Chains A and B, each alone.
Chain A
Amino acid sequence: MDNQLQTSERFKPPKTRRDFLGLLAAWSAIAAFVMAILGAFRLPMPSVFPESDSRAKLGKPKQFTVGAQTYFAKQRLWLYRDEAGFHALSSVCTHLGCIAERLDDGQFSCPCHGSKFDEAGRVKGGPAPKGLIWVELSVSPEGWLVADTLKEVTPGTKLLA
């Protein structure tokens, strides 16, 4: 006993095959445990969302005259039609998800932390990190104007319909 104790203090004995296999077993068990934990955390990450169909019919294009500005409360978006075509701005504030209010001059103001956006959704003030989202618009085969609230287009993109 004493002898062993003294040797181990003086120098590290070389690893034997048994030590190696022991370490291998220990690390395999640790790896398996970590993978199991990670695997368990896969469950709460949804693969299908309750809002999976994020598309909504807004109406027939001819319903909206040039210059029309319409709000869709459920989709939280403003639909505009001008000479260049249709575009839709999401009123969900890019800061922390409140709904920005559209003021009389067409600019947006968020009630939660005072972010300000201009008519085109560009940030004018406050903490918002980026401009309001331009929502993807399309025309369905049946001729409906459809907005997909989870899809974004480059600001300035307009739909001719």
Chain B
Amino acid sequence: MAETDMKNQPSDAKPSEAKPSGRAIGEPGAVRDFAGNLAGTPRTFRQTLIRHGTPTSDRAKSQAVFTNFFLHLLPTRTHLHAIKATTTLGLGVATLVLFVLLCVTGVLLMVYYKPSVEGAYGSMLDIMHVVPTGNLMRNVHRWGAHAMVACLMLHMARVFYTAAYKSPREFNWVLGMLLFVVTLGLSFTGYLLPWDQLAFWAVTIGANIAQSPQELTDALGVTSVFDVGRMQKEVLLGAHYVGQEALIRFYVLHVMVLPIVASILIAVHFWRIRKDGGLARPASADTADSGGAATADMTPALKTYGLMAVMKDKTPVVNREMRNTIMTWPNVIYVIGAVTMVTTLAMLVLGMWFDAPLREMANPAVPENPAKAPWYFLGLQELVSYSAFMGGVGIPAIVVLGLALVPYLDREREDVGVWFSGAQGRRVTLGSMVFAVLVVVGMLWFTVRNGWLRNWEATAHVPQIVITFFNPGTVFVLLFALWSVAVVKITRSTRMGAIALFTCFLVGFVILTYFATVHRGPNWDFYWSQAEWPVH
């Protein structure tokens, strides 16, 4: 456990003793040594590669984790709570596995993919029909991207509902939000690369969302001097319309910039889990089973490297049992391995049975109708059909910022590591779900049936700025915020308010995504099902 172990090499791992120099020339000893060294090389090489023996003793098991670059992110002993299936559901590891799978399949696809307007679509067809295993790799890449966004969101919900964002893990939650944004950026930039109709028009819409702050600057009359919308679009596309410049920019972002940013953020995210004292767990997890004292050596304040060599107090804890913990090797390694295998298998099965779609080649003259973004952006697409700026920029910014600030606004220390923070939290979650369903379904029903301001006689000519700030989307957000404030007041708990807000947004996201996927057809009109879409 102690850090100093790192320097102590086990005696059996020492390379053979160096012979004293000064042997006479021609003496046979040196040649014999050479022959012996040569014969012993496989053994000594293995000993220098893995410096501990077979991990059978606790000490060797500890070293197996401690002296391994890839495993040293893990503690040598892990709290039992951390490997219970209900603690994390394996979602964080699954997200990481998907990221690695995407990197591997992505690099393989890069071998044949040509990021040019003339070549892109053709190289996609090559990958699908000519390249050995190309179709499978593309399928795994596509379904893996969807699965990564899904796992990431579920992981976020898990962390939220088990109150794992609380002190000292606040900043790691912020890092998680950054990773969420970067992952969506990776998805969005990857979407253009096939250069099919859907890619072209979904990105045209995305780039114009980047331009939508013009809605605001136009209303203020400052667009001619300060046109941030145009600037954003031009930086993104390198042109006025989606074309070769946009394709190469998206390619660079997708295969280089964003993966590097994501890798760095992932590394820090995982490192901080360790520095913050492992996975969040309830206080009861330390006292329940064995009735002993808390495992003090697992708390960050008493970690030896927490001392940072600046104090003489707080020496490493010795002579205290590490209650409720197990050896990381091999227990946690098995768990991680199992999640890795299940995730990879799921992607392989999906990739073999379902082909990723590819529409006809991009045609800038004819928009896809309806031009639907990938599912995780469809909720936003429903919102931009009310107002491009609030739906595409304003509300997402409010949601991301609001979520990132949750650990700073709710600083209650109770019930960390407990799902829904107990019975009251379960009631608040359920109540918020009912509230959010009523609000969102009610607003959608109202909007589909009656339209909005422009469809009504009295308000047909209201200025755009009114619609920008008063539309079904902003009404949801306002109602959700009011509901959460009410919950804080009634329960006198910021944690309950946070649960209410998060639940509302989660429900809103799910319903809007479902609604835009199933019930929106050509011209973004409402249809009960795709079977009702007009033929054209």
Measured CB to CB, the residues of A under 8 A from B are: 41, 44-46, 49-51, 54, 73-74, 76, 95-99, 109-114, 123-127, 129-130, 150
The reply to whether B367 and A49 contact each other, CB–CB distance below 8 Å, is: no
The reply to whether B523 and A97 contact each other, CB–CB distance below 8 Å, is: no
Docked complex Cα distance between A24 and B150 (Å):
48
The reply to whether B386 and A127 contact each other, CB–CB distance below 8 Å, is: yes
Which residues of chain A come closer than 8 Å to B522, judged between CB atoms? 111
The reply to whether B367 and A129 contact each other, CB–CB distance below 8 Å, is: no
The reply to whether B367 and A99 contact each other, CB–CB distance below 8 Å, is: yes
Docked complex Cα distance between A97 and B240 (Å):
11
Which residues in window 476-516 of B have CB below 8 A to A? Answer: none
- What are 21 sample pairs from A and B whose C-beta atoms fall under 8 A apart? A45-B234, A46-B238, A50-B243, A51-B239, A51-B240, A76-B365, A95-B208, A96-B209, A98-B201, A98-B205, A112-B201, A112-B370, A112-B371, A114-B523, A123-B454, A125-B455, A127-B385, A127-B386, A129-B387, A130-B464, A150-B240
The reply to whether A98 and B386 contact each other, CB–CB distance below 8 Å, is: no
The reply to whether B524 and A129 contact each other, CB–CB distance below 8 Å, is: no
Which residues of chain B come closer than 8 Å to A124, judged between CB atoms? 454
Measured CB to CB, the residues of B under 8 A from A are: 201, 204-205, 207-209, 212, 214-215, 218, 231, 234-235, 238-241, 243-245, 249, 365-371, 381, 384-389, 391, 451, 454-455, 464, 467-468, 522-525
What residue in chain A is nearest B382 (Cβ atoms)? Answer: A113
Docked complex Cα distance between A130 and B219 (Å):
10
What residue in chain B is nearest A125 (Cβ atoms)? Answer: B454
In order of increasing CB-CB distance, the 4 nearest A-B pairs are A111-B369, A97-B208, A113-B385, A96-B208
Which residues of chain A come closer than 8 Å to B467, judged between CB atoms? 127, 129
The reply to whether A98 and B451 contact each other, CB–CB distance below 8 Å, is: no
Chain B nearest CB, measured from A68 CB (Å): 21
Which residues of chain B come closer than 8 Å to A129, judged between CB atoms? 212, 214-215, 218, 387-389, 464, 467-468
Interface of A is mostly: loop
Contacts A45-B231, A97-B205, A129-B215; is A112 near B367 (CB within 8 Å)?
yes
Docked complex Cα distance between A109 and B524 (Å):
11
Which residues of chain A come closer than 8 Å to B208, judged between CB atoms? 95-97
Interface of B is mostly: helix
Which residues of chain A come closer than 8 Å to B241, judged between CB atoms? 51
Contacts A50-B244, A50-B245, A150-B240; is A114 near B204 (CB within 8 Å)?
no
The reply to whether B464 and A97 contact each other, CB–CB distance below 8 Å, is: no
What residue in chain B is nearest A149 (Cβ atoms)? Answer: B240
Contacts A74-B365, A96-B208, A96-B209; is A111 near B388 (CB within 8 Å)?
no
Chain B nearest CB, measured from A54 CB (Å): 8
Please give 16 more A-B residue pairs, beta carbons under 8 A apart, in addition to A73-B365, A111-B371, A129-B387: A46-B239, A49-B240, A50-B243, A96-B208, A96-B209, A97-B207, A97-B208, A109-B523, A110-B523, A111-B523, A113-B384, A114-B524, A123-B454, A127-B386, A129-B464, A130-B218
